[in-house]
């Protein structure tokens, strides 16, 4: 049979024909794509005559389309629906992708052609394209001698292998750490629909009649807020924070030490003091010291707020607190002090209504876009839903795929990725995916979201809008292909519409009665807005500062005892808190150790939130949810991708550089 990946898809917008693709097709298509791309690059190098923008930069942008098509589909499955065969293929192919990148960006003849492209008469986007290629050549080691380049290739290949292994172990570790309970009484306090989901998860895992509490990726598990039995909370908490560090085949700490050593060596090879310096050189932050200064400014105020929250919790609990008590008594404080019961809110946040009457409604009000579900188009799994997206004038914009439920074959967390990226040069329109990990209810039951899941749904759709609205010429600049410390900004902005009155009033209705969320509850939510910010900011900063601590080490400084280093690093940064673990501990910190691109860059969320908080202020000052505001934000920022300096796009939108004060006020740190 013909491999469907070897030729462009005939489906709308180039959606891959997943129903026709078998596991073995990926290997064949990726191998063909790797070889074909190198041949295309060699043709660029061998082009007779002097280098021009057309015969070098444009030729590079047109190259590799088979590889891109195969890799986008393959890595979508790696993250969202990985069979044993796909995982084995990932292990085999990941070093190949690393070697492929080196073959391109350590190619001196190719670099020399780019360096020789005349700068005259290039438009701004084209000039930026050449500059960005030259920058990547330099950051990839083109300046190294032959011995240095050969060593760098070895380091890159080994980092790729280790990152793949880390991700696979963490995925299995999260599954094996799920808490299996025999007695329904152990789940006292858990809402009925969550109880049903736990029973369904146990049945699916082969434990009929029992209950399985599956884990989410961060340290803090949602069930800790409601489980009444303290010993069950303790067991769930310890299962969560102990992942990846308990010995055995799923322990990742040796992988961490190897990766940190190799990253330190790579930074030294490329002329940087440490890996954090190398990472920040690729971001919008001016330098590593600017990042550290901001984090150090936030940490003391966050911990003070957390300590004040802890005092209130201890008073309510009536006994000394442990870390597994925090979420439970925090929920009680919200109920008693602010009359907010987050579990009682869930019937008002039913997934379909949140999507259609919340997420899509806000996007329509702001940007005029509309969504039509395409049941005739299939994703890579039966749970995947497909919507066609159109502009206000009826023109086609792209496809949006939603994959909302957790399953064993999916990694933890939530993310957006692209199957097809927009490009004027290639005449392609975007196909983007949102993945979440919501527990799937039994058939016929509603999917009711927690406040955190509600926030994540809006957040990830902000990434999707960034991809869908891309309007650039060159695929290199498309959508979310921006520096890591800018990419979270549009997604965080989209969270503002969750509580916007017109939006909230449209989607927050009881799934059974249709009654709207009472205004007095909305008022109480607003009054309770700052409660928990001490915990939230401290756990985030713990992870971000732990990330930086690992990546300022020299290769000779990598500790033997990972957990001891983790404790000392948190204490040195001023964010060690006995009741608040980092949002991710080293043993399951996928963002920085599993190839997600956040190594020495987890600070990006708070860095982006500075821009986000400024943008929320701008919308409030200019009338909020209006087409004029949405079109301006879309035109000056969301559509630009990386076709111009992202901070220039922000200045064009905001009229000035961002200031820190709105963020401090939002998080109660002013």
pLDDT tens-place string over residues 346-356:
999 999 999 99
User: Do 468 and 400 touch, CB atoms closer than 8 A?
Assistant: yes
DSSP character string of 72-108: HHHHHHHHHS--HHHHHHHHHHHHHHHHHHHHHHT-H
pLDDT tens-place string over residues 533-585:
999 999 999 999 999 999 999 999 999 999 999 999 999 999 999 999 999 99
pLDDT of residue 410: 95
Please indicate whether residue 460 is annotated as part of the active site. yes
Beta partners for residue 403, in sequence order: 435
For residue 180, the SS3 value is strand
Residue 12 pLDDT > 80: yes
Question: Whose structure tokens read 């292909």?
Answer: 481
- With a pLDDT cut of 90, the percent of the chain lying above it is 98
User: If you average pLDDT over every residue of the chain, what do you get?
Assistant: 96
User: Do 237 and 213 touch, CB atoms closer than 8 A?
Assistant: no
Average pLDDT value for residue range 291-313: 95
Average pLDDT value for residue range 159-180: 95
Question: Whose structure tokens read 């090879």?
Answer: 269
pLDDT tens-place string over residues 255-298:
999 999 999 999 999 999 999 999 999 999 999 999 999 999 99
Distance CA 319, CA 156 (A): 51
pLDDT tens-place string over residues 62-81:
999 999 999 999 999 999 99
Distance CA 492, CA 456 (A): 10
Average pLDDT value for residue range 367-376: 98
Distance CA 161, CA 96 (A): 10
pLDDT tens-place string over residues 478-536:
999 999 999 999 999 999 999 999 999 999 999 999 999 999 999 999 999 999 999 99
Average pLDDT value for residue range 146-168: 96
pTM for the full predicted model: 0.93
Beta partners for residue 387, in sequence order: 373, 400
Would you give the end-to-end CA distance of the chain in angstroms?
64
Active-site residue, from 460, 488, 539, 614? 460
pLDDT of residue 670: 84
pLDDT of residue 1: 61
Residue 430 pLDDT > 80: yes
pLDDT tens-place string over residues 97-149:
999 999 999 999 999 999 999 999 999 999 999 999 999 999 999 999 999 99
* Nearest to 610, CA basis, from 555, 545, 665, 530: 665
Beta partners for residue 402, in sequence order: 385, 434
pLDDT of residue 597: 86
Q: List, as own/partner pairs, every contact residues 40-47 make where C-beta atoms lie below 8 angstroms and the sequence separation is at least 24, other chains included.
A: 40/64, 41/103, 41/104, 41/107, 41/110, 44/110, 44/113, 45/107, 45/109, 45/110, 45/113, 47/113
Distance CA 212, CA 199 (A): 6
DSSP character string of 460-489: HHHHHHHHHT---SSGGG-TT-S-HHHHHH
Sign for the CA dihedral angle at 362, 367, 368, 373 comes to negative
Which residue segments constitute the domains of the chain, with CATH numbers given?
Answer: 4-143 (1.20.1050.40), 177-241 (no CATH), 253-340+531-602 (1.10.1370.10), 347-437+446-515 (1.10.1370.40)
């Amino acid at each position: 049979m013909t491999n469907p990946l070897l030729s462009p898809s005939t489906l709308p917008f180039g959606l891959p024909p997943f129903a026709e693709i078998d596991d073995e097709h990926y290997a064949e298509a990726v191998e063909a794509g790797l070889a074909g791309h190198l041949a295309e690059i060699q043709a660029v190098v061998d082009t007779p005559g002097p280098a021009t923008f057309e015969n070098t930069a444009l030729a590079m942008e047109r190259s590799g389309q088979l590889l891109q098509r195969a890799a986008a589909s393959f890595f979508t499955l790696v993250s969202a629906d990985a069979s044993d065969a796909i995982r084995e293929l990932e292990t085999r192919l990941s070093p190949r992708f690393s070697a492929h990148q080196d073959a391109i960006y350590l190619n001196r003849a190719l670099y020399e052609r780019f360096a020789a492209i005349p700068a005259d008469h290039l438009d701004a986007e084209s000039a930026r394209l050449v500059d960005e290629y030259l920058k990547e050549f330099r950051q990839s080691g083109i300046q190294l001698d032959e011995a240095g380049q050969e060593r760098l290739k070895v380091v890159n290949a080994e980092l790729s292998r280790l990152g793949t292994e880390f991700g696979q172990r963490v995925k299995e570790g999260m599954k094996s750490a799920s808490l299996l309970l025999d007695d329904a009484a152990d789940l006292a306090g858990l809402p009925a629909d969550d109880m049903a989901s736990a029973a369904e998860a146990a049945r699916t895992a082969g434990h009929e009649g029992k209950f399985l509490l599956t884990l989410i990726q961060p340290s803090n598990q949602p069930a800790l807020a409601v489980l009444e039995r303290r010993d069950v909370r303790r067991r769930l908490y310890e299962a969560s924070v102990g992942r990846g560090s308990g010995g055995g085949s799923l322990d990742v700490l040796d992988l961490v030490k190897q990766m940190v050593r190799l990253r330190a060596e790579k930074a030294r090879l490329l002329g940087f003091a440490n890996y954090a310096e190398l990472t920040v050189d690729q971001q919008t932050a001016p330098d590593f010291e600017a990042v550290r200064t901001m984090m150090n400014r936030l940490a003391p105020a966050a911990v003070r707020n957390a300590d004040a929250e802890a005092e209130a919790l201890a008073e309510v609990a009536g006994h000394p607190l442990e870390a597994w008590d925090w979420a439970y008594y925090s929920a009680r404080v919200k109920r008693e002090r602010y009359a907010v019961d987050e579990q009682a809110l869930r019937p008002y946040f039913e997934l379909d209504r949140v999507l259609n009457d919340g997420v899509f409604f806000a996007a329509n009000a702001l940007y005029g876009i509309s969504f039509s579900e395409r049941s005739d188009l299939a994703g890579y799994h039966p749970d995947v839903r497909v919507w066609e997206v159109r502009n206000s004038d009826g023109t086609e914009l792209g496809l949006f795929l939603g994959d909302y439920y957790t399953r064993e074959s999916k990694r933890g967390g939530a993310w957006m990725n692209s199957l097809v990226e927009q490009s004027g040069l290639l005449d392609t329109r975007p196909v983007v995916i949102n993945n979440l990990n919501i527990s799937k209810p039994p058939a016929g039951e509603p999917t009711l979201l927690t406040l955190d899941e509600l926030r994540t749904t809006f957040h990830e759709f902000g990434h999707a809008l960034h991809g869908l609205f891309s309007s650039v010429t060159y695929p290199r600049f498309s959508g979310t292909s921006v520096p890591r410390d800018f990419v979270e900004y549009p997604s965080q902005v989209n969270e503002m519409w969750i509580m916007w009155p017109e939006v909230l009033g449209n989607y927050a209705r009881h799934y059974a009665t249709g009654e709207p969320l009472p205004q007095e509850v909305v008022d109480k939510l607003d009054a309770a807005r700052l409660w928990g910010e001490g915990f939230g900011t401290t756990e985030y900063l713990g992870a971000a500062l732990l990330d930086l601590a690992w990546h300022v080490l020299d290769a000779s400084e990598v500790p033997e005892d990972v957990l001891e280093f983790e404790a000392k690093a948190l204490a040195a940064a001023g964010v060690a808190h006995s009741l608040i673990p980092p949002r991710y501990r080293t043993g399951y910190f996928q963002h920085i150790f599993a190839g997600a691109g956040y190594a020495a860059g987890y600070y990006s969320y708070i860095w982006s939130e500075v821009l986000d908080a400024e943008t929320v202020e701008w919308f409030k000052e200019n009338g909020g949810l209006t087409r004029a505001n949405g079109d301006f934000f879309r035109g000056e920022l969301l559509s630009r991708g990386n076709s111009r300096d992202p901070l220039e796009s922000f200045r064009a939108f905001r009229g000035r550089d961002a200031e820190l004060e709105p963020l401090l006020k939002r998080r109660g740190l002013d």
